Amino acid sequence: MKYVDLTYAIVDNMPVFPGDPPMSLKQVASIKERGYTDHQLTTAMHVGTHIDAPLHMIEGGARIDEIAADRFIGSGILIDARGKEMIDESFLYGKTLTHDSVVLICTGTDKKYRTPLYDTQYPTITESFAQKLADAKVKILGIDFINPDKDDSFPIHKILLSRQVLIIENLTNIDSLIGVNSFDVIAFPMKLHAEAAPVRVVAMVK
């Protein structure tokens, strides 16, 4: 079994979603001074690699801590959309979507991370694509860019989250899975009383 990490490390002064407060990760104790090391993390939820629960966009939707652990593990389906500006339902032709599927979209946008282009130059996901995932009741959609929506009314978020399809944003290294025939995905978030949480995402290549 090979394990492929698809997660950004959380470090100080990471980029945040436009409009969110800045985050920080500071060392507050050292072994030399106190006999132990300690750090303090101050952050909103939508920083780095994170997962959205329904409450993020759906009134009365489930929080991260209310979602059963088995929802964070599934059979991986890779969509290679590198160089594409539009991701529509045609990318799903020939794919077998089930209630156990975790769909990962590789666009290569992660190569722009920590540049101004990352927030603005990313593909458009169509509503018909999102509806196909929702109708199939897949577990998770994961993307290597900042936001599945370009419309400020967030239709893609709402289509997916209203049907209990979780969303992982800001993945990286998905291109390592290009050409892989079979893999599973583990994406356990922190168990927070919140609408989203940081998540460590790992692909297990069989």
CB 160 within 8 A of CB 11: no
23: three-class secondary structure by DSSP: coil
**What pLDDT, on a 0 to 100 scale, did the predictor assign at position 131?**
98
The predicted structure's pLDDT at residue 196? 98
Q: How many CB atoms lie within 10 A of CB 6?
A: 25
The backbone torsions φ and ψ at residue 119, rounded to the nearest 5 degrees and listed phi first, read -80, -15
Q: Nearest Cα to 142, choosing from 176, 173, 180, 170?
A: 170
| Pairing of β 2-5 and β 24-29 | unpaired
Alpha carbons 51 and 170: distance in angstroms, whole number: 9
3-state secondary structure of 129: helix
Q: Which pLDDT belongs to residue 2?
A: 96
d(CA 140, CA 134): 10
Residue 88 CB coordination number (10 Å): 15
pLDDT at 180: 96
**Residue with tokens 């050292």, as numbered in its chain:** 30
Per DSSP, 22 falls in state P
Identify the pLDDT of residue 16.
95
Q: Is 67 helix (H, G, I), strand (E, B) or coil?
A: coil
Write out residues in the chain with pLDDT < 70, as ranges. none
pLDDT of residue 100: 98
Angle at the Cα of 45 (from 43 to 51), degrees rounded to 5? 145
Give the residue from 100, 81, 193 showing the smallest Cα distance to 145: 81
pLDDT in tens, 58-84: 999 999 999 999 999 999 999 999 999
98 φ, ψ (degrees, to nearest 5): -135, 175
Q: Please give the pLDDT value at position 46.
A: 97
Domains of the chain: 2-9+46-205 (3.50.30.50)
Q: What is the pLDDT of residue 3?
A: 98
Residues 127 and 138: their CA atoms lie apart, in Å, by 15
